[in-house]
Structure 1
């Protein structure tokens, strides 16, 4: 098992906390069968002190895209069309390094060994989920870890984190669809940003090119939108489930429910929200961006990694949990479906 010396030292330094380590029972979160019963909660991760804050997002309809009159509008943001969204919970903030590396660095497994804790049935399922190969450089690029947003992962890596978290916790987590993301970002607004059209207020809500000092920042430092979500504008762009297709909106019927463009090729796939290195215009609620092969430009591996986008220093993700958990068939045909299959090369 591979662990950095920094992580090993932290694990042993924290060994006296063994009485406080979360057990399988602590994975339980408040359940709801109706939208009215949905409440904010924190999803603990067993064998660690980490938890992911989740915020309820009410179901409803909204106009997806931007009007032709919106300043800075791109052609792929139209035509506007009505979309219906079912209720879900969404991460209050972007997934941070201290939440992401539990999976990526196998910290949960290491802590079980240190504390002599037996694996639960959920642990055994989670341990079987594929984890990334060791990174070939510091993927934070010295901008900070811990409460800073995790970056430089492929969409595949973000999806596998969600799969691991789902079996680890017994709750179904995934990436948001592009429609869910915009709906949650807007939080009931129809303006360019979730706080209105006045770009002079952007500093209060976002880290971006003008105020980021050339790097990302700890999550949750700026004002949230009306639904309690932080950093929906800026800090890092966020993966969604969808394939990026420029004319998606032109070919979509108005009134569609929970739309998703299931990925059928690696590039491009949709990220949303804009990052610390983007201009104010690119942080608008309706802006769409597709991933690019250039995001792997500095990857020295042959073949290039299925886990890392070395040049995507402002790309991360946040998670959602639908109120109604999908069936296995729905997972296979919609939410978990993606092609082509991603496999690590066989080392002979």
Structure 2
């Protein structure tokens, strides 16, 4: 089942779419410093965690009870859970890539995004009577003009996976470091920040409004029946996180490792190719008594599946301003084609250590 906040979008974008200096060879990277375009990074050490939604001990039923105001979740894409070991340290950007940071890339290279050269990104038409018809591709929608106001500190949106990769290539060329998109495994490890709960802040969905930009009363007031589509809304217009569309990066409280907006704000591209059955395939040949201890080391999905005969589908994580709290949980996964762009998709980058 498609997560409720990403249901029934057009086929081109099938689903709704988680501090350092230049690395010098002769000295370690100093902490709490920025790179040449003002990006800050958090050093992430190797470790082990349980990836995916753990359905043991009726946790899926407990999730439903705790999220009584949200659409039901089937956890098809993020279960069964399994242990993951990451053996290499990395640095993850403290925030999502901002409008100003992406502009630095464009101004330096003259780059045009996929949306700018291929008929625009998926934007919002709030006056459409049918909810799913509110999201349409338009040549007027690009990272420069998403259809709502953004400052330099907002996350860049309407960028494709291809655009994100070009940004990483450019930044790597500018500095003596390798920049890339995170793997899905790295992304969830960093999002969880040592926690095993549904969210990095715990298990209460109503705490989302202190930690994440999610669909709330502000969005519902601005665009009636938008949030209501996925949540039997109980919020007044001045409740919730207060942001209608994207929010300024780092506006909300960070997770325990100091990373902002790992939940909500914008879906974030990962380097992996999408595989809906990835977690189930891991465990197909593992006997039931051994599944709780089954471990995958440094996983990244780069090979194609039969689905990729119809497009270069790539994974995204974290949820967006369009999603209710239930759909911004640590384990949430979705996908889009590498050339597609939408006003609720962005990215953050890894710098290799």
TM > 0.5 = yes
Match of 1:216 in 2: 246
CA distance in structure 2 between the aligned counterparts of 1:91 and 1:155, rounded to whole angstroms? 17
Contact 1:91-1:320 within 8 A present in 2 as well = yes
Match of 1:174 in 2: 180
Structure 2 residue 86 is matched with structure 1 residue 94: no
Q: Cα distance, 1:267 vs. partner? A: 4.4
**Partner of residue 239, structure 1:** 269
Distance 1:98 1:193, change over 3 A: same
**Equivalent residues of 1:40, 1:56 under 8 A apart:** no
2:78: which partner in 1? 77
Partner of 1:42 in structure 2? 34
For the residues of structure 2 that align with 1:66 and 1:153, how far apart are their CA atoms?
28
Root mean square deviation of aligned Cα: 2.5
1:137 aligned to 2:137? no
Contact 1:149–1:236, Cα closer than 8 Å, also in 2: yes
User: Aligned partners of 1:187 and 1:133: how far apart in 2?
Assistant: 33
1:272 aligns with 2:302: no
Shift of 1:178: 0.6
- 2:203 equivalent to 1:194: no
Higher relative contact order structure (alpha carbons within 8 Å, sequence separation ≥ 6): 2
SS of match in other structure, 1:42: coil
Alignment partner, residue 132 of structure 2:
none
- Identify the residue that residue 54 of structure 1 maps to in structure 2: 41
What CA deviation, in whole Å up to 9, does each residue of 1:151-177 have, x standing for no partner?
111111101110110011121000000
From the superposition, tell whether residues 322 and 237 of structure 1 become closer, same or farther in structure 2 (CA, over 3 Å): same
Q: Does 1:288 align with 2:328?
A: no
State whether residues 96 and 346 of structure 2, in contact with CA within 8 Å, keep that contact through their aligned partners in structure 1. Answer: yes
| 2:301 is the alignment partner of 1:261 | yes
Normalization by structure 1: what TM-score?
A: 0.67
SS at match of 1:52: coil
* Structure 1 residue 30 displacement after superposition: 6.0
Aligned-residue offset at 1:216? 0.4
Give the superposition deviation at 1:205: 0.2
Taking the aligned partners of 1:248 and 1:29, their CA distance within structure 2 comes to: 34
| Superposition deviation, residue 102 in structure 1 | 1.3
- Normalised to the residue count of structure 2, the TM-score between the two structures is 0.67
CA distance in 2, matches of 1:73, 1:229: 28
Supply the distance in 2 between the matched residues of 1:212 and 1:30 (Cα, whole angstroms): 42
The answer on whether the counterparts of 1:185 and 1:285 sit within 8 Å (CA) in structure 2 is yes
Cα distance, 1:244–1:209 mapped onto 2, change above 3 Å: same
Q: Distance in 2 between matches of 1:212 and 1:292?
A: 31
Check whether the contact 1:66–1:73 (CA below 8 A) recurs between aligned residues: no
Corresponding residue pairs, total: 255
The 8 Å contact of residues 78 and 249 in structure 1, kept in 2 or not, is answered as yes
